[in-house]
Chains A and B, each alone.
Chain A
Amino acid sequence: MRYRLGAVAVAAVAAWLLPYGLGSYAIHIVDIAIIFALLAMGLGLAMGIAGQINLAQVAFFGVSAYAVAILTAKSGFGFWPAAVIAILITVAVGLLVGVPALRMQSHYLGIVTLGLALAFTNWVTNAELSGGAEGLSGIPVPPMFGIDLFSEYLYYYLEIVVFAVALVFGLFVVRTPIGRRMRAMRDDPLAAGAVGVEIPQLRMLAFAIASVYGGLAGVLYAGLIRYVAPETFSLANMFLLLAMVIIGGRQSLYGCVVGAVGLTLVREALVEFATFAQLAFGAIVVLMVVFAPTGLAGIPARIRQVATRGRSTLARAQLQPFDSTSHMVSSPAADAPVLLEIQDVTMRFRGLTALSGVSLTVREGEIHGIVGPNGSGKTTLFNVISGIYRATAGRVVLDSTVVSRKRPYELSLLGVARTFQNLRLFSTLTVRENVLVSLDRTRTRWAWRYALWPIGVWRADVGLRARADAILAQFGLAEFADAIPSALPYGIQRRVEIARAMGGLPKVLLLDEPAAGLNAGEVDQLAQIVRAIRGGGVTVVIIEHNMGLVMSLCEQITVLANGAIIAAGTPAQVVADPAVIEAYLGDASIMDDIPIPSPTEVAG
């Protein structure tokens, strides 16, 4: 901590002294670099942190700069009122551009945001309001309590203050609940939804944050240059910005800043050799992407990784036994209230019927097994219950509320938690953060606190961390809290996923083949964990192929084959059912055609 305070103090003094050593052109370049750094942070937050491809960041910048220009030069507003309105307009535009993100991602979102950015430059180049291709001049120097911001040296201090606030705010967002949920969403949107991350709101918020940074940059640009023209907001500059973020390291705000400042300086240095600079610049981008995909910001971590290879502290960490001190509850009474009811659910994918008319009832406090051959529709059923698929017909009722049209995050908030057949942990979050994401039940609308009451956010986060550590300790994972999941053995990752699912304090836990890939000892521990979870009052539904486990664990078993229920009941009833034997061992009727030597003949 003292070390970090020292670093901040050194950076502050260096920023204070910098203009004294620079000529008038150099300070201009630095002022431009800071504006690009703001833009890059906004893009980094949207793309690197929240995973939303936003090729309209330079257009946000343009909307804000043009709004300031039009409001001051044409409508006679003062600079600062115009600046506030400009940022509000930019956020509104940012939210509009973000709407397609609700429906599409990846390259689809890329081309749509790019198209909208082109639409913006097309508009400003043609409209009379924005001065057409010549652009608009006549933006006043921002007034500032008698400080003459016409001087680019003094303007630098205004910029550096805005920049510092924006950087600290960005870092704060990344490390607290909203940023953590955004990173979870980036790593695995499906799993994030399943642990209660409000994906649609968070995507919109990512665009809103990016547009605030774009808006700030636009205001500062308008005040610095006092002239706007379409080519500043062209595609070429969008790609330059993109290169800054990727080369610097999109998942680190420091990286974005380094990339922005670095490339601005390089571009200036090579301004006289434009073609060769373009060639070198393109080549460097390709090389960086291939050899250092995490950017400059990722290089220290990679060096550390190489340096400490084989001497990892993880190697000595031990998986502790699960702490099952909670009181044990035996099987629920036969008349326990119904918690989860699947009513006549059918699921079709184009021509394929994965589930047809499936109905089942799970009582509170029950451990309910679902078995069936591969491809019988078990995981599809889980996907319907947890909202990932919307059933073609039929209803899912949880706690006497119909939930079949709800989204995964809504179901998670209602108390449905699940694990996945092929582990879906958030791959760049630590084990503790994985649990924190599900533990954190603050909602996106809580985001106002970030602007008005950040101390409250910080306190809440400290509280969450303590609770996460308690859960990790209970699951015997305390020593792995700071590890990245992929560095852990498979069995431990499985346990982390269950711990994460339990973080949301669910009413019902859906386990999709939790014993797959576990050794015998681990399977015994799993049985103990599942019983303890039920002991804590949580209903468990479990898909499993390990029949020994299912038979010993479950009170009720449902057997699926070809998308339909072929048997249901207690373990004893189910194993005796001819239909089950047929599904597992083959068609018994075939046996009729095979001549079986009759005992009498043999005797005769």
Chain B
Amino acid sequence: MQLFFQTIVGGLSLGAIYALVALGFSLVYRTMGLVNFAHAGVVMIGAHVATAFSLVAKLPFALAMVVAIAITGGVGLVIERVLRPLENKDFDLMLIGTIGFGTVLEALAILIWGATGTAVASPVRTAPLEVLGIRIRTYDLVVLAVAAAATVLLVLFLQKTKRGAAMQAVAMDHEAATAVGIHVGRSNAIAFAIGAGLAALAGGLVGPLLYVSPAMGGTLGIKGFAGAIMGGFGSIPGAILGGLAIGVLDAFAAGHFQGYSELVTFLVFTLIIMVRPTGVFGERTVSRA
């Protein structure tokens, strides 16, 4: 039983990262109908920017993170402009177009930071906590707390501010939103910038857990996307739940099947999605043949 809870606790911190990545996917998708596979690349860029500011510019970790979020959000505005022709196109084109753009981001990262990558030390150096016999790394708590705070801020923004309400309106019906005078283009750009900011947050937080390199986006992106799908693509609570679930699933698979963890994770994911194709919170795009 202790091992069981230990595995869950271990899975939750990476799960929180996947949840942040999934949030970015879902936010962009629901607002502008773009399935953005370049998001993995944005996470990777965010991780590099955060690392550069904390290791090279010697800023404190939290400050480096804020700077990274701001810069990556700005980069997101540029990316949105480039990807705009792909919005609401057919899925094949979006798929390869955004993957192509992700390739560009990866090549740029190699040119700027080199292909080798860097290890990032944990910014929290206190010893792990012991709660009821379960060891909890303090940094994991930081990750969970930051992810939770980011989610709460996002939800408050979407529900309490005028700009957020406008984005919700665009998500529901962008033609009707245009008709009532909402600037859809601007709303999309903001959604994308927020998505990129979340990606930078995920990338910055994951640095001390993994290894920061231009190739890091792939797995994070795919698992984050799987999380978003599992929770119900386009749903905010779905992204959180799905991301955490993928993290925990991954931890169990790694605990029981070692090297075959990825195999097990994706087989289980396929079975879950076969049973509930619309995810937990549901999106109605599934066709009944």
Query: What residues make up the interface of A, taking CB atoms closer than 8 Å to B?
Result: 47-48, 53, 99-100, 102-108, 110-112, 114-116, 118-120, 122-123, 125-126, 189-190, 193, 199-200, 203, 235, 239, 242-243, 246, 250, 275-276, 278-279, 281-286, 289-290, 293, 388, 407-409
Contact = CB atoms under 8 A, between A and B. Distances in A.
B179 to A, nearest CB: 19
Q: Nearest 5 CB-CB pairs, A to B?
A: A285-B100, A199-B289, A282-B103, A115-B266, A282-B104
Interface string B105-125: 111101100010000000000
Interface stretch (B61-69, B126-134, B225-233): B225-233
A122 B102 contact: no
Contact of A107 (B102, B233, B263): B233
B97 A290 contact: yes
B93 interface: yes
B218 interface: yes
Interface residues of B, number: 48
A99 to B, nearest CB: 8
A509 B170 CA distance: 39
B77 to A, nearest CB: 17
A239 B287 contact: no
B245 interface: no
B286 A105 contact: yes
A122 B263 contact: yes
B234 to A, nearest CB: 10
A193 B266 contact: no
A198 B91 CA distance: 23
Given A104-B286, A116-B270, A282-B102, 14 more contacts: A53-B95, A99-B274, A106-B285, A108-B285, A118-B266, A119-B266, A122-B259, A246-B93, A246-B96, A275-B111, A278-B107, A282-B104, A285-B96, A286-B100
B104 to A, nearest CB: 4
Given A119-B263, A126-B260, A290 B273 contact: no
Contacts of A115: 222, 226, 265-266, 269-270
Given A105-B287, A285-B96, A289-B100, A119 B273 contact: no
Contact of A285 (B103, B226, B229, B265): B103
B32 to A, nearest CB: 14
Interface string B175-208: 0000000000000000000000000000000000
Nearest to B41: A282
A579 B248 CA distance: 60
B266 A103 contact: no
Contacts of B288: 388, 407
Contacts of B233: 107-108
12 contacts: A105-B286, A126-B259, A189-B289, A242-B95, A242-B96, A278-B104, A279-B107, A282-B100, A282-B103, A289-B96, A289-B97, A290-B85
A225 B260 CA distance: 27
Contacts of A276: 107
A284 B269 CA distance: 33
Contacts of B285: 105-106, 108
Interface of B: 35, 82, 85-86, 89, 91-93, 95-97, 99-108, 110-111, 115, 218, 222, 225-226, 229, 233, 259-263, 265-267, 269-270, 273-274, 277, 285-289
A123 B263 contact: yes
Contacts of A122: 259-263, 266
Contacts of B269: 112, 115
A246 B106 contact: no
Contacts of A118: 222, 262, 266
Listed residue (A116, A243, A286, A408) with the most chain B CB atoms within 10 angstroms of its CB: A286
Contact of A110 (B95, B218, B265): B95
Contacts of B277: 103-104, 108
A482 B160 CA distance: 55
A289 B93 contact: yes
Given A104-B277, A116-B266, A282-B102, A111 B111 contact: no
A193 B287 CA distance: 11
Contacts of A100: 270, 273-274
A368 B107 CA distance: 65
Contacts of B263: 119-120, 122-123, 126
A126 B253 CA distance: 14
Contacts of A125: 259
A184 to B, nearest CB: 13
A102 B91 CA distance: 18
A203 B266 CA distance: 22
A531 B165 CA distance: 53
